[in-house]
Structures are given as C-alpha cells and as structure tokens.
C-alpha cells in the first residue's frame, strides 16, 4: 500500500484553458496517508471522476504531479500503477464461478495456488460469499455481482491503492446500509489505502476517516466526518452535509461583531479580518425556540419521529430548527429563535472567518 500525493494538480479538458471555469480541477494538493480510508465527496460535475482518473492514470493532468510513496507516476499508464478499482457497475466474468472470479487477479500475477485459495477464502468470508463460491456468476443478482467486484478489488494485498467509484449505485436500497458498514469493516481488516468516490454524504461519512469535499474543481475542506459536521470550513460544506443543512443568514460584520437586522448575535469567538458577503452559519441542531431570541415567523412544523423540524422565516431567510418531539408551534406564529453561541459561526464569501475560543 502507498501514500499518495497530489502535487499542484490542475486539469482542463480544453486545448487552451483561459478562464477559471475552463479548469475541471482548479488546483489540488492532497496527501493521502498509507492505509487511510478516504472519501471524495461532492455534487455531480465537481471533478471527482476526473481526480480519480488522474490517480488511476486514465487521465494525464494538464499540470502537477501524482506521487506514490514519493515516486512520480504522473507519466505511467494505469497498468503500471499497481492499483485496484471497483466501478459503479459490476466488472466480472459471467462464465466463471465466484471462486474463479475472486482468484483471477491473483492467478493473473502468478500467485502460488495455496496462497490464492487462502486469500479467496478470506475475502469470501469478509463479504459473506462463502456459500456461493462454486456458483456461476451469470445467475447471480446485481447486488451479489457487485460484492464479487468488490472482492476482486480487495483480493490483492500488494496494490498501492483500492479505488471505489460510486460502488453502491446498483445495490438495492435495503442492502445499501449493510454494505456501507461492511466496507468500513473491510477497511479495518485489510488496512489498504482506499479512496471512495461518492455524491452521497451518508456513504462518505460512514466509510471515511477523512472526507475530501469538492465543489467546482476545488477542495473546500478535508476533515473527519465530525470536523465537517461541527465546523464546516465553507458554507458549501455546511449546506451539503447534514439534513437539513446548515442555516445561513446574511449578516453585517463591524468592529469584530456580527449583527442580524441591527441586533448583535453571540458567535463562537473572534473574527478574522475579511471582506465580502458575510453570513451567519448555524446548524438546525443548535437553533432553539426562545422568547428573547431573533424574531421569526413559523412556516411549518414537520414531525419526523424522534424530533421535529421547525421551519421559520427570519426576515427574508428560511431557517430550520431541530426541536424536541414534545415541542409545538402554530403555523404563522411569531416566535423567537436562539442560536447556541459556541456553534454559531461567521463566513465571508463562503469561507469561515470566526475562530473557536480555546
């Protein structure tokens, strides 16, 4: 397994990129540690596949370098990079048995038969495929075929990295949660460097130790699932992660303090100097109903079981609050909303400018 370094990567599919938007990857510097579990998370078109293809060697970056354990592999084709990939759709041989499919990547490299049998048994057990090892792949369901694809990706223990590209796309919704946690378990057993590409926050947050959040060809934050939830470094992360996402309220910043409609709002800590469009960011989990809070008008209250989601208008901005199951609010009622100060942050042009008090 390897440490993977992306060094000042830029990529454009155009012959002569000029404007900022001509770059599919604007500039990316990342160090993926040996043995880590990483996710690349972002909406469609943000550049995830381009980045994955640059790591695998299918796409040669316009600028910058890809290093595996410090060795420059930028010019090497995929078959010389020693990587394993699991794609959206199963890639297996229908005429072979499950056992033969799992053994294939090892047999191809001349691994000794005893070692192949042991490794196939190990992977089959991890993926709960033991009972079907002698069945032909042709008769299996899409879910089962994709599990075999994953097994083929994991069976070699000498690859630099295992890359998963939206691997749960074909999986039946009721099995998804099971495979999601299975993949996490597999990582802790196999300890390979793994990169998992997805636009689904639950998949990314379940699988990865570190999540790389991308937007429009840029990395907006790299962090643990807790970091991304607790302290989004960019409003995009706040909005994209969480359900509902972070509330963002346009505010005024002056003399190191934040004001909503002229009233000061208690925030987490001091503000870094910044200019541009300023907003207060606070997650619905940290908004509560309080008579002395910011004036708001109730839009609706949705009961979603363990808690309720209150939606209200603060001026022109819609704000969500997650409140207890016993609380109630009438549609159209004038109420107050309080924001927990240590969880209330300020952003300028999207980027976090408030600092946590230590």
Ligand X SMILES: Nc1ncnc2c1ncn2[C@@H]1O[C@H](COP(=O)(O)OP(=O)(O)OP(=O)(O)O)[C@@H](O)[C@H]1O
List the interface residues with ligand X, window 96-115 (CB under 6 A): none
Question: Which CA distances in Å does 136 have to 98, 133, 141?
Answer: 6, 8, 11
Distances (CA, A) of 290 to 15, 325, 344: 58, 16, 16
Question: How far is C-alpha 1 from the geometric centre of its chain's CA atoms?
Answer: 22
Q: Which of 8, 29, 45, 185 binds ligand X (CB under 6 A)?
A: 45
Shortest CB 59 distance to ligand X, Å: 8
Question: Which of 3, 17, 27, 49 is close enough to bind ligand X by CB under 6 A?
Answer: 49
Sheet bearing 161-165, strands edge to edge: 83-86, 161-165, 194-198, 37-41, 210-215, 218-223
Q: Least distance to ligand X from the beta carbon of 202, Å? A: 16
CA-to-CA separations, 187 to 6, 159, 179, 233, in angstroms, rounded: 22, 14, 12, 27
Q: Nearer to ligand X by C-beta: 201 or 343?
A: 201
3-state class (DSSP) for residue 203: helix
13 binds ligand X (CB under 6 A): yes
Give the binding range for ligand X (CB under 6 A) out of 37-45, 82-90, 129-137, 297-305. Answer: 37-45
Length of the chain: 358
Complex with ligand X: residue 24 or 246, whichever CB lies closer: 24
DSSP string, 124-164: HHHTT-GGGTTSBGGGS-HHHHHHHHHHHHHS-SS-SEEEE
40 or 296, CB closer to ligand X?
40
Asked whether position 62 contacts ligand X by CB under 6 A, the answer is no
Contact call for residue 47 and ligand X (CB under 6 A): yes
Among 15, 16, 19, 44, binds ligand X (CB under 6 A): 44
Q: Which of 50, 85, 201, 215 binds ligand X (CB under 6 A)?
A: 50
Nearer to ligand X, 49 or 97 (CB): 49
Q: Beta partners for 10?
A: 63
CA 172 to chain centre: 21
Instruction: Decide: 240 and 43 in contact? Cβ < 8 Å.
Output: yes
Identify the DSSP state of 327. Answer: -
Q: How far apart are CA 63 and CA 269, in angstroms?
A: 39
Q: How far is the CB of 265 from ligand X (least distance, A)?
A: 35
Q: Which of residues 194-223 bind ligand X (CB under 6 A)?
A: 199
Q: Interacting stretch for ligand X, rule CB under 6 A, among 43-51, 92-100, 261-269, 299-307?
A: 43-51
- Residue closer to ligand X (CB basis): 13 or 89: 13
When the beta carbons of 228 and 280 are compared against ligand X, the nearer one is 228
Q: Is residue 6 within the footprint of ligand X (CB under 6 A)?
A: no
Where do contacts with ligand X occur on this chain (CB under 6 A)?
Answer: 13, 24, 42, 44-50, 199
């Amino acid at each position: 397994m390897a440490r993977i370094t992306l060094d000042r990567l830029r990529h454009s599919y155009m012959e002569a990129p000029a404007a900022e938007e001509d770059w599919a990857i604007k500039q990316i510097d990342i160090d993926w540690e040996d043995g880590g579990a990483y996710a690349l998370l972002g909406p469609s078109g943000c550049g995830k596949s381009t980045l994955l293809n640059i790591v695998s060697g299918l796409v040669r970056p316009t600028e910058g370098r890809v290093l595996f354990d410090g060795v420059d592999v930028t010019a090497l084709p995929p078959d010389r990079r020693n990587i394993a990939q699991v794609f959206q759709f199963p890639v297996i041989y229908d005429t072979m048995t499950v056992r033969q499919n799992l053994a294939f990547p090892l047999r191809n490299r001349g691994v000794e038969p005893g070692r192949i049998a042991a490794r196939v048994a190990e992977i089959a057990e991890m993926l709960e495929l033991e009972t079907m090892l002698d069945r032909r792949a042709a008769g299996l369901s899409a879910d089962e075929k994709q599990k075999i694809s994953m097994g083929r990706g994991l069976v070699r223990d000498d690859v630099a990295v295992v890359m998963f590209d939206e691997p749960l796309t074909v999986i039946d919704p009721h099995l998804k949660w099971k495979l999601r946690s299975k993949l996490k378990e597999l990582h802790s057993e196999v300890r390979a460097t793994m990169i998992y590409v997805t636009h689904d926050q639950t998949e990314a947050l379940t699988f990865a130790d570190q999540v790389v959040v991308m937007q429009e060809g840029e990395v907006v934050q790299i962090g643990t699932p807790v970091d991304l939830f607790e302290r989004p470094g960019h409003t995009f992360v706040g909005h994209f992660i969480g359900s509902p996402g972070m509330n963002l309220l346009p505010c005024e910043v002056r003399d190191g303090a934040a004001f909503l409609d002229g009233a000061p709002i208690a925030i987490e800590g001091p503000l870094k100097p910044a200019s541009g469009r300023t907003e207060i960011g606070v997650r619905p989990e940290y908004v509560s109903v309080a008579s002395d809070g910011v004036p708001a008008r109730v839009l609706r209250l949705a009961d979603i079981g363990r808690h309720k989601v209150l939606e209200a208008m603060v001026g022109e901005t819609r704000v969500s609050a997650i409140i207890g199951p016993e609380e109630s609010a009438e549609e159209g009622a004038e109420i107050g909303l309080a924001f927990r100060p240590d969880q209330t942050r300020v952003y300028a042009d999207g980027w976090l400018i408030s600092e946590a008090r230590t």
